[in-house]
Amino acid sequence: MKFKTLDMENKNNGAGYQLEDVYIISAVRTPIGGYRKMLKRCSPVYLGVVAAKEAIRRAGISPSEIDETMVGCVLTSCHGQNIARQISINAGIPVTSPSVTINKVCSSSMKAIIMATQAIHLGDRNVILAAGAESMSNAYYGVPRGDNNNDMSGPFVDSMFEDGLNDAFTKLRMGACAEKTCSEYSINRKEQDEYALESYRRAHHAWKEGLFDEEVVPVKFLDSNEVFQDEEYKRLDPLKVPCLKPAFIPDTGTITAANASAISDGAAALLIASSSFIAHRSCQPIAQILGYAEAAVEPVEFTRAPSFAVKKLLSKIGISVEEVSLWEVNEAFAATAIVFLRDMNLDSSRVNVRGGAVSLGHPIGASGARIVVTLLHALQVNQIGIATICNGGGESTAVAIKRL
């Protein structure tokens, strides 16, 4: 099968050299910790370094061969300048290698993958560390500056909500926006709860069968303790799910703590390389990036956005829905995945086969990379998979990969 991957039909970029095919040579993630729980001591930088070091180790290359580091992170306030730069240097990458931190809300780290793909495809870079890191447990509170420098009498602002979980246009919580989509699609509470329970069941099965072992690198602490499993999937009491109160709209709301993703901490990292680098170094790629797409809708309708990006992507690379073996759609809410399944007319047995953000957690800046990592490890050789994620502001991104 011949795909129209990354404009294959026009391999010369007009600058006198050939466009590069783009490959993934390693892909890992940390466990995902719950809010103020097992990873609460870890900054986003620390989590990012753990994932980055393991990605480099698995790729079998020297840190000095990495041309740039691109990291998605949303809640960066008070964590120091340019989190990507901090991760890069602390992971052992030379100071001469540049870095950039990307904030596209929940799509941040998938955007990092896309930007890395673009740079390598054009021949500007050979190897890029594309990652995402988030510690929602360590999001800072802020105080607006008053009329003078010493005036801190204003109200405290929670940066986690202000910069991550509130719609910038309506000031509604993301969940309140999702409730509007539930109403438009006639998605009831029972359907969302059933979806959530299945997400938890799949995550529990995946951990029990060791299906996550290959993709997860433990987070170790100075006291010799370590975290090696996701936290959220073990916390559910199925009997309590129907009894939970609505989280965003009192009495009549359908979204609850059980059928929404959990506030979380975690990181994911991929090393992305050009075909020339792989040939020169005799590396063994584990996947090829076939293409990517982005889309945007009305901000309040962000939960509908993934299908728009995916339809653009399918058209761009010239394949059908039937040719995609597995799908990952970020479960910001169970409703997000339900809308995607309806819009794409998909069989749920091929979507989020190892659970999703509802059961695993949603460290917002890391989730885009996380779902690509999970998708890659779930695919069999020669299978195609697509990962997609929505983000606040009404946007979405999607990436297609082929397992090698």
DSSP string across 230-270: -SGGGS--GGGGGGPPPSSSTTT----SSSBPPBEEEEEEE
Residue 24 lies in a domain: yes
Judge if 327 and 371 occupy the same domain.
yes
Has residue 204 been placed in a domain?
Answer: no
Question: Structure tokens of 47?
Answer: 């989590």
Pairwise CA distance, residues 307 & 25, whole Å: 28
8 A C-beta contact, residue 394 and residue 309? no
Q: Distance between CA atoms of 346 and 344, rounded to whole angstroms?
A: 5
Are residue 274 and residue 305 in the same domain, yes or no?
no
Does 182 qualify as catalytic in the annotation?
Answer: no
Domain boundary among 239, 271, 287: 287
Helices (H) and strands (E) in the chain, counts: 11, 14
Round to whole Å and give the CA distance between 33 and 137: 9
Asked whether the CA dihedral 242, 244, 247, 250 is positive or negative, the reply is positive
* Burial track 266-278 (b if 16+ CB lie within 10 A, e otherwise): bbbbbbbbbbebb
Please check whether residues 49 and 110 belong to one and the same domain. Answer: yes
Q: CA separation (Å) from 11 to 17, 18, 75, 204?
A: 9, 6, 38, 44
Say what the pLDDT of residue 6 is: 65
Tell me which of 73, 106, 177, 283 is the catalytic residue. 106
| Domain hosting residue 60, numbered range | 8-139+263-287
Same domain for 61 and 29? yes
Tally the domains of the chain.
Answer: 2
pLDDT in tens, the chain (404 residues): 445 666 544 556 555 567 999 999 999 999 999 999 999 999 999 999 999 999 999 999 999 999 999 999 999 999 999 999 999 999 999 999 999 999 999 999 999 999 999 999 999 999 999 999 999 999 999 988 877 777 777 789 999 999 999 999 999 999 999 999 999 999 999 999 999 999 999 999 999 999 999 999 999 998 889 999 999 999 999 999 999 999 999 999 999 999 999 999 999 999 999 999 999 998 899 999 999 999 999 999 999 999 999 999 999 999 999 999 999 999 999 999 999 999 999 999 999 999 999 999 999 999 999 999 999 999 999 999 999 999 999 999 999 999 99
User: Which run of H or E residues covers position 388?
Assistant: strand 384-391
User: Contact 246/252 with Cβ under 8 angstroms?
Assistant: yes
The whole model's pTM is what? 0.96
14 phi-psi bin (left φ>0, alpha ψ -120 to 50, beta other) = left
User: In this structure, what token pair is assigned to residue 365?
Assistant: 């800046």
Given the residues 42, 182, 283, 390, select the one marked as catalytic.
390
> What pLDDT is stored for residue 3 in this prediction?
54
> In this structure, are 340 and 304 located in the same domain?
yes
Record the tokens describing residue 197, joined without a space: 């329970």
397 SS3 class: strand
Question: Is the residue at 47 inside a domain?
Answer: yes
Of 121, 177, 283, 362, the catalytic one is 362
278 and 329 in a common domain:
no
| 121 has catalytic annotation | no
Check whether residue 28 and residue 134 sit in a common domain: yes
Residues composing the chain:
404
299 and 283 in a common domain: no
Among 287, 322, 345, the domain-final residue is 287
Instruction: Quickly tell me which residue has 């809300």 as its tokens.
Output: 105
109, part of any domain: yes
- Give the whole-angstrom CA distance, residue 310 versus residue 152: 46
Please give the distance of CA 25 from its chain centroid, rounded to a whole number: 18
| Domain-embedded: residue 173 | no
User: Which amino acid belongs to residue 375?
Assistant: L
Q: Look up residue 368 and give its amino acid.
A: G
Same domain, 277 and 365: no
Give which of 263, 298, 267, 314 is closest to 390, Cα–Cα. 298
Which of 225, 255, 287 is a domain's end point?
287
Q: Assess if residue 224 is contained within a domain.
A: no
Q: From CA 203, how far away is CA 201, in angstroms rounded?
A: 6
Alpha carbon distance 124, 119 (integer Å):
5
What's the token pair of residue 140? 């800072």
Q: Are 279 and 375 part of one and the same domain?
A: no
Residue 301 burial (CB count, 10 A): 17
Pair (386, 361) in one structural domain: yes
Is 121 a domain residue?
Answer: yes
For residue 41, the domain's CATH number is 3.40.47.10
Question: Which token pair is 241?
Answer: 């799910």
Catalytic residue flag (residue 362)? yes
Residues sharing a CB contact under 8 Å with residue 365, sequence separation 6 or more, in sequence order: 44, 72, 73, 74, 75, 103, 106, 108, 109, 132, 133, 134
Residue 329 φ then ψ, to 5° = -120, 130
Whether 33 and 124 map to the same domain: the answer is yes
**Rounded to an integer, what distance in angstroms lies between the CA atom of residue 267 and that of residue 30?**
5
Residue 147 placed within a domain: no
